[in-house]
Amino acid sequence: DTGVSQDPRHKITKRGQNVTFRCDPISEHNRLYWYRQTLGQGPEFLTYFQNEAQLEKSRLLSDRFSAERPKGSFSTLEIQRTEQGDSAMYLCASSGPGHQPYNEQFFGPGTRLTVL
């Protein structure tokens, strides 16, 4: 078990471009989460999946953001028409296979996005 992995680790883009991040959860985990962390703040919840179903979305997830988890394995987070305010660390976490909300969420190292 290699833990949660995220790719890329760093991304620099120009305002208005689209970016896509990938998250590979721990293989037996059925839940996958996306959080965003800005400087000096704690992580903020964006969305989560149970298997391939997206069950919860934060109001932080504007219509420029879309997340998918095809086949309940890896997940992608796409940001369209990036803005400078999107600059942040995007964290992915996974948990399972239990069904309790207090199950530990295992976090990946994050993708740091810089929008110029």
Partner 1 sequence: AQSVTQPDIHITVSEGASLELRCNYSYGATPYLFWYVQSPGQGLQLLLKYFSGDTLVQGIKGFEAEFKRSQSSFNLRKPSVHWSDAAEYFCASGAGSYQLTFGKGTKLSVIP
Binding-site ranges for partner 1 (CB under 8 A): 3-4, 31, 33, 35, 40-45, 48, 55-56, 58, 91, 93, 95, 100-102, 104-110
The greatest distance separating any two alpha carbons of the chain, rounded to the nearest whole angstrom, comes to 41
Which CB, 82 or 90, lies closer to partner 1? 90
Buried b (16+ CB within 10 A) or exposed e, 81-93: ebeeebbbbbbbb
Which CB, 16 or 55, lies closer to partner 1? 55
Nearest approach in angstroms of CB 9 to partner 1 is 9
Nearest approach in angstroms of CB 48 to partner 1 is 6
Strands 75-79 and 5-7: unpaired
Which CB, 21 or 35, lies closer to partner 1? 35
Three-state secondary-structure class, residue 72: helix
Distance CA(25)–CA(23), nearest Å, equals 6
Which CB, 5 or 87, lies closer to partner 1? 5
Query: What amino acid occupies position 102?
Result: Y
Both structure tokens of 25:
């959860």
Nearest approach in angstroms of CB 54 to partner 1 is 12
Nearest approach in angstroms of CB 68 to partner 1 is 18
